Structure 1
Amino acid sequence: MTQNNEMGWNFDNSYARLPELFFESTEPTPVRSPELVIFNKSLANSLGLDAQKLQREEGVEVLAGNQIPEAALPISQAYAGHQFGNFTMLGDGRAVLLGEQTTSSGERFDIQLKGSGRTPFSRGGDGRATLGPMLREYIISEAMHALRIPTNRSLSVVTTGEPVIRETELPGAVLTRVAASHLRIGTFEYVANWGTREELRILADYAIKRHFPDIEDNEDRYLSLFEELVKRQAELIVKWQLVGFIHGVMNTDNMTISGETIDYGPCAFMDEYDPATVFSSIDVQGRYAYQNQPAIGQWNLARFAETLLPLFHENQDHAVELAQEALAKFKELYHRHWLEGMREKLGIQNEEDQDESLIENLLNIMEDHRADFTNTFRALTLDKPEDTAMNGTLEFTEWYNQWQARLARQEKSKTSAYQLMKNSNPAVIPRNHRVEEALEAAVEKGDYSVMERLMDVLANPYAYSPEQEEYTKLPEPSNQPYRTFCGT
């Protein structure tokens, strides 16, 4: 059933005009009694949607998948991916792309329903999602946006009034996800394996037109496409590292061509600084640990390059050379952006050769003393070294004096340095125990006030406001390491 566009929907369906290999037409499966439990008014407004109408019954019917807006053309996308290093066929197993919302300024955003029922790619699954993981994605994706990290965003979560069977019976939910697109490295892997060279070219041209229009007229535009993604992924992963974010499932199907963070299943933010930190319950080998994220990013880009080799050059050996040369730039780009970001976290506004040693020494001391990552930089930003776990130790005292001397050698004032730090070091992150607290209240008790308060605090992580003080506190000590789960 379709609805008119009085709510502000302005759909185009450019992806659905690609070859049939790339997708399957898929109608969302209606749900029994949808109820809107969280809604992103500011995002709705930025998309040109009528936030008030979307929150009414007819709007909730759309957000639940019970009704289809006019001009929408629901599909499920085909893609493959390397999951923990193993290649497999995948596709949208529990998500339906309604279409692409186009704004008055000409921007284009995918509107996707996650948890909307079975698709041709469900592989035996029920296509449904449970409430907890959908609320979790809403919290983390919006927190990432506030942290100025490229990410898909969340428009709403609707409960379905139907149970979903996992280990136990859980409440069902549908998340409305908004992204620059859902093109993935895995999309290219799929077409490279099961499509023709012409279909691969069509996909690459589509990605360029949608995300990199500046290179559209380049003679070597496919190599330029790869080079652009190398840049975006290097910048993205640096941003993760600078706030202690651990994605948890960096499979190639979760790495976007747009350079956005996507898939918030087993992700989390680090408390105490430990480069080997892993949160995902299924990552038993630590493949996607915090310290491994840059190398995995480069590994994923190598898989992307392999798909594009036929477009780089007719001579495969030369194509491989071009790919290797472009891929080799990742490490230098990553290192340069990381060093720049770490300098900013310490208020350093020019360059000296010993800066990297100063940074590494601090991180080593933090690791030795199990210091909290976010709160250490928060304390330094507030010039309260006494609030760190390392205070009073000889090595930290020596480091602090070296850092202060470093700041004194800058032309700009220390006031300017601390302001830079305040803009670079979040006072709050979505701490794991706070996220779990919010999810438990919502799922177990139907109480969304805990989540709403958390979202208010996370909306401006660089505010350093009194309201944020409570949310900077660490969880109670536990013998059990924190674990996250995929939610499928």
Structure 2
Amino acid sequence: MQLKGSGRTPFSRGGDGKAALGPVLREYLMGEAMHALGVPTTRALAAVTTGDKVRREVALPGAILTRIAQSHIRVGTFQFFAAQKGTNSLKQLADYTIKRHYPDALNRDNPYLSLVEQVRDRQARLIARWMQLGFIHGVMNTDNMTLSGETIDYGPCAFMEQYDPDTVFSSIDRQGRYAYGNQPMMAQWNLARLAETLLPLISDNEDKAIERATECIVGFDAVYEQYWSQGMLTKLGLERDCNQPTLVDDWLNLLQKNGADFTLGFRALSSALKGD
């Protein structure tokens, strides 16, 4: 459980740790929507106003979100421990994460490499679900990637309307780093940062650790592609073993060419098949 908007914590950076009512309500609604759509996500237990004003561009009513999750351990948590706490504390964090989320990794030859592999697989599945729904997170930094594989921190996020892989919803993302079409790549980048922190635990031999971690991270592409293609074929009403490798791309190109709404395009296809 976490209180978002309650003020600064020992892990706060330059912000005040407070939240305005609007973003709190958005996170409440988005988390519940994603849960209803079958997407792993944090959820809101409660949202309350504080009676205080939060200073942003203008003064806004303050609020606190009680957020629940399997845990709030993030890639950024590992980066913090690796940079500030040393290898022993990092090992404690990794061991705790394994016991909490991936206990079967304890039976593997290399539990820490297994941790990276299993986080990779969960994130590949999660990002594929985002993409299949046209969801754009908006701020995919390492602090917003959980080790549990849950969506967290609904900031400048949205569901895409007109289909365009370059769609961006964050006003500060002027270069399109977190655009819809870049989300798989950004997930892989974040996973590489996680693997970097765990190199001393993966092997005492740095070159060997880098080699094994790199192989794991490169494998993200194949895992993601499997989840993405299977989910999209299902969304199109086709068997998962359908031997039409270009069908999904052809459909998406058709949506983009005609400026069609991503979600409504699928609904229109369904209606056409029914003869409506």
Shorter-chain TM-score tier: over 0.9
2:257 aligned with 1:376:
no
SS in 2 for 1:158: strand
2:67 aligned with 1:182:
no
Matches of 2:13 and 2:237, distance apart in 1: 51
Q: How does 1:38-57 map to 2 (within 5 A)?
A: none
Aligned to 1:276: 166
- The amino acid across from 1:251 in the alignment is N
- Measured against aligned partners, the alpha-carbon deviations of 1:408-452 in whole angstroms (never above 9, x if no partner) come to xxxxxxxxxxxxxxxxxxxxxxxxxxxxxxxxxxxxxxxxxxxxx
C-alpha distance 337-135 of structure 1, shift in aligned 2 (>3 A): same
C-alpha distance 122-351 of structure 1, shift in aligned 2 (>3 A): closer
Q: How does 1:450-469 map to 2 (within 5 A)?
A: none
Which blocks of at least 5 consecutive residues in structure 1 are unaligned? 1-110, 388-488
Aligned match for 2:134, one of 241, 244, 248? 244
2:194 aligned with 1:286:
no
CA apart distance, 1:366: 0.5
Aligned to 1:147: 37
Aligned to 1:232: 122
Aligned match for 1:325, one of 215, 236, 256? 215
Aligned to 2:245: 356
The two structures have a TM-score, normalised by structure 2, of 0.96
CA apart distance, 1:384: 5.5
2:86 aligned with 1:199:
no
- The amino acid across from 1:374 in the alignment is T
Matches of 2:168 and 2:232, distance apart in 1: 22
CA apart distance, 1:123: 4.1
- The amino acid across from 1:226 in the alignment is V
SS in 2 for 1:356: coil
- Measured against aligned partners, the alpha-carbon deviations of 1:20-52 in whole angstroms (never above 9, x if no partner) come to xxxxxxxxxxxxxxxxxxxxxxxxxxxxxxxxx
SS in 1 for 2:230: helix
Matches of 2:169 and 2:274, distance apart in 1: 29
C-alpha distance 386-245 of structure 1, shift in aligned 2 (>3 A): farther
**Percent identity (aligned):** 59
SS in 2 for 1:363: helix
Aligned to 1:173: 63
2:51 aligned with 1:161:
yes
SS in 1 for 2:53: strand
Aligned to 1:217: 107
CA apart distance, 1:126: 3.0
CA apart distance, 1:327: 1.2
CA apart distance, 1:157: 0.8
Matches of 2:83 and 2:180, distance apart in 1: 31
SS in 2 for 1:383: helix
More helix per residue: 1 or 2? 2
Say what the alpha-carbon RMSD is for the aligned residues: 1.5
Matches of 1:191 and 1:207, distance apart in 2: 13
Matches of 2:49 and 2:256, distance apart in 1: 42
Matches of 1:265 and 1:360, distance apart in 2: 29
Matches of 1:119 and 1:221, distance apart in 2: 31
C-alpha distance 295-386 of structure 1, shift in aligned 2 (>3 A): farther
C-alpha distance 230-249 of structure 1, shift in aligned 2 (>3 A): same
CA contact 1:379–1:385 (8 Å) conserved in 2: no
CA apart distance, 1:218: 2.2
Matches of 2:169 and 2:88, distance apart in 1: 41
Matches of 2:206 and 2:21, distance apart in 1: 48
CA contact 2:230–2:240 (8 Å) conserved in 1: no
Aligned to 1:433: none
- Measured against aligned partners, the alpha-carbon deviations of 1:142-173 in whole angstroms (never above 9, x if no partner) come to 10000100000001110112222211121111
Aligned to 1:259: 149
Matches of 1:251 and 1:118, distance apart in 2: 20
The number of residue pairs the alignment matches comes to 276
Matches of 1:152 and 1:128, distance apart in 2: 19
CA apart distance, 1:122: 3.9
SS in 1 for 2:38: coil
- Measured against aligned partners, the alpha-carbon deviations of 1:332-385 in whole angstroms (never above 9, x if no partner) come to 0111111101110111115243x2212111110100111011011112223368
C-alpha distance 213-158 of structure 1, shift in aligned 2 (>3 A): same
Matches of 1:257 and 1:125, distance apart in 2: 24
- The amino acid across from 2:271 in the alignment is L
Aligned match for 1:310, one of 176, 179, 200? 200
C-alpha distance 321-121 of structure 1, shift in aligned 2 (>3 A): closer
Matches of 2:218 and 2:20, distance apart in 1: 41
- The amino acid across from 1:363 in the alignment is L
